[in-house]
Amino acid sequence: EVQLVQSGAEVKKPGESLKISCKGSGYSFTSYWIGWVRQMPGKGLEWMGIIYPGDSDTRYSPSFQGQVTISADKSISTAYLQWSSLKASDTAMYYCVRFYSGPHYFDYWGQGTLVTVSS
Binding site for another protein (CB under 8 A): 37, 44-47, 59, 61-62, 95, 100, 103-107, 109-112
- C-alpha dihedral sign at 64, 22, 108, 110: negative
- Cβ proximity to another protein: between 29 and 60 the closer is 60
- CB 94 → another protein: shortest distance, Å? 11
Task: Specify the residue, 85 or 109, whose C-beta has the smaller distance to another protein.
Answer: 109
Task: Assess contact for 116 and 14: CB atoms under 8 A.
Answer: no
Shortest gap between Cβ of 16 and another protein (angstroms)? 26
- The number of beta carbons lying within 10 Å of the beta carbon of residue 13 is 10
3-state secondary structure of 53: coil
| Least distance in angstroms from the C-beta of 3 to another protein | 12
Residues shown for the chain: 119
